[in-house]
Copies of this chain bind each other. A is one copy, B any other.
């Protein structure tokens, strides 16, 4: 028999990790709910007709397709290459993200949904990416989106959600970087190369990785003139406070109506007068975000600089997502939390609270039949009070049972030996301090485990 294993890039989550992950999910869920977002869950499998072509060629490659059941051999025989074979034997794939299923849901349920529809969704997605540190083939996404409202109040609220979640997680030093796709469009307009907007965006997106010189070279390779590149470099060096950046942008993009609109939107998001932020968002004109469907504000969350982690969240406004499924003219804006990376950051900074790691508070040893009966009454009384308690299920050597309690990390052991049974009390041992005390039987249920 071969040693069992799990598929490459997937993970088992044991008890300690599940509890910590649930603490993150619960914190995010609470904030989503406070802001009026509604939970949605969609199936793990979607029809290929829903997913194909929505994530580019790479996405189509990286999707996990599901084999049709039944007799697939005949259909497969007619295929002359991999593409035809896949089409012949599969019609479903695993969810690749939560955004396309959301758009699909909105279109299917458009008559029942009250717009604006504010939904959140926290479910796993699957991608056949090459696994590496921090990149998995099965991982959770955690999204909040509003569709059916053009108001920038939504952008403000989504930034407030980031602010509230990271404050609630005790994660200081997070940076909320914002930009606006219309500003990038404005830049392309100003240099008169609107058709190269995507090329410009892609190159700028790489600034962090390849540096200013690399960007210059890429832009040149993509057909931009020295004068164009100089304008772009001027754009990329815009600095100072948010207000100073907005002023420099206004000057540089004054000839572009689109660019000025982007500046105006950014101004509102940052200075709506509606609220203040714990972590003031920072304008980052070099922020581009890869996804093509963004059309307005874009946002990215950077982990605290002390942790080498990069982005732990991001999002933006997209103007026509449901159009992919035939429902035109519905604008949306959304954000996403990178739960796996947030987990790593909280772990590295030791920020998981005790409560996120609590399970059984006390285990009663099992030292014989009559002793177990007495112990079980205490166990049930504690459970009725909401305190997680256990009894070792079989009568075994005390040493073995103590070792078990230690290995499990249970903080208290309760002992009813012969004398305790006679005296109707319980010896309670704190495994952290090693201290032991006798507690009267009637007081056990009120003991501060």
Q: Is A36 an interface residue (CB 8 A)?
A: yes
Interface 1/0 per residue, A373-392 and B, CB below 8 Å: 10010001001001111110
Residues of B contacting A404 in the complex (Cβ-Cβ under 8 angstroms): 114-116
Q: Is A227 an interface residue (CB 8 A)?
A: no
Q: Is B12's CB under 8 angstroms from A42's CB?
A: yes
Residues of B contacting A216 in the complex (Cβ-Cβ under 8 angstroms): none
- Which residues of A, 35-56, contact B by the 8 Å Cβ criterion? 35-36, 38-47, 49-50
Known: A4-B50, A34-B388, A273-B373. A65 touches B64 (CB 8 A): no
Known: A388-B33, A407-B114. A67 touches B45 (CB 8 A): no
- Say how far A159's CB is from chain B's closest CB, in angstroms: 13
Q: Is A94's CB under 8 angstroms from B66's CB?
A: yes
- When chains A and B are docked, how far (Å) is the Cα of A388 from the Cα of B31? 9
- Say how far A161's CB is from chain B's closest CB, in angstroms: 10
- When chains A and B are docked, how far (Å) is the Cα of A49 from the Cα of B4? 8
- When chains A and B are docked, how far (Å) is the Cα of A275 from the Cα of B384? 13
Q: Name the interface size band of chain A.
A: 35 or more
- When chains A and B are docked, how far (Å) is the Cα of A72 from the Cα of B88? 13
Q: Is A69's CB under 8 angstroms from B79's CB?
A: no
Can you show 28 pairs from A to B with CB atoms below 8 A apart? A3-B108, A4-B47, A4-B49, A4-B104, A10-B44, A13-B41, A14-B40, A15-B40, A18-B40, A33-B359, A34-B387, A35-B383, A43-B138, A45-B64, A45-B138, A64-B67, A67-B67, A69-B128, A73-B82, A76-B76, A76-B85, A89-B89, A115-B404, A118-B390, A149-B394, A153-B366, A153-B393, A273-B373
| Residues of chain A whose beta carbon lies under 8 Å from any beta carbon of chain B | 1-7, 10-15, 18-19, 22, 33-36, 38-47, 49-50, 61-62, 64-67, 69, 71-73, 76, 79, 81-82, 85-86, 89-90, 92, 94, 104-105, 107-109, 114-116, 118-119, 124, 126, 128, 138, 146, 149-151, 153-154, 157, 160, 164, 273-275, 325-326, 359-360, 363, 366, 372-373, 376, 380, 383, 386-391, 393-394, 404, 407-408
